[in-house]
Amino acid sequence: MVSDNMTERLIVGLDLPNVADAEKAVRDLDGVASFYKIGYRLAFAGGLELARDLVADGKSVFLDMKLLDIDNTVAQGVESVVNMGVTMLTLHAYPKAMRAAVAAAKGSDLCLLGVTVLTSMDEQDLVEAGYEYDPHTLVLRRAEQVLAAGMGGIVCAATEAAAVRKIVGADLAVVTPGIRPAGADHGDQKRVMTPADALRAGASHLVVARPIVAAPDKRAAAQAILAEMQAA
């Protein structure tokens, strides 16, 4: 079930160039944030060791690796991630890969998340990539496949959260990146929503990176977003 504690539902994206900057961000947010996302940029700059350190310090970690490979390779990767003790791991929502990951994570507390359509992509981007579906239709198809595979949740744009929630039910995590406070720059995101609207739409967790880690006062930025979440 979705927690009432907004600190557990705000995931701060440590989209930073090095571990030193990430560690400083975590220190700046001490007592405000407790859940952190580590993606490619930081992972390839020492972020996997940082993930272990954060787990050891009692923090929750969302490892955003978007795995996709042959079944055996996916399964072996998931087994290694289980041993790290992180809370969430992403993989692209391809049915075979998801089934392999679920089997590998069985008996653990790792929440596996299926990535549907990246929030930087619109309909023309999907056409160019060879998909026959528009983003909304593809997201809903992936949501059905996530549920059938026994995954722990789904990653989608907040604009699709309400429709996804109807498919996956109340128990699965619906994690939404592309969150921007009112008036914030959208950057390269094309399907965005405010924190309050995302929660009202059915999101269980919000991933917020640049509006927090690029803010002059990270702590104040995170507190403002938490206040908006609480008001929703």
**200 appears as a binding residue in the annotation:** no
**147 appears as a binding residue in the annotation:** no
**67 appears as a binding residue in the annotation:** yes
**218 appears as a binding residue in the annotation:** no
The residues that are catalytic are 66
**70 appears as a binding residue in the annotation:** yes
**68 appears as a binding residue in the annotation:** yes
- Do residues 119 and 138 make contact, with C-beta atoms less than 8 angstroms apart? no
Q: Which amino acid, one-letter code, is at 154?
A: I
**83 appears as a binding residue in the annotation:** no
- How does strand 10-13 pair with strand 205-208? parallel
**185 appears as a binding residue in the annotation:** no
**73 appears as a binding residue in the annotation:** yes
Helices (H), the chain: 6-9, 19-28, 40-42, 48-56, 71-84, 95-105, 123-128, 135-149, 161-168, 195-201, 210-213, 218-231
**121 appears as a binding residue in the annotation:** no
Instruction: Enter the tokens of residue 76.
Output: 């072996």
- Do residues 32 and 7 make contact, with C-beta atoms less than 8 angstroms apart? yes
Instruction: Enter the tokens of residue 178.
Output: 């592309």
For the beta carbon of residue 84, count every other beta carbon within 10 angstroms. 15
**71 appears as a binding residue in the annotation:** yes
- Rounded distance, CA 193 to CA 158, Å? 6
Q: Output the known binding site for substrate.
A: 15, 37, 64-73, 119, 180, 189, 210
Q: Output the known binding site.
A: 15, 37, 64-73, 119, 180, 189, 210
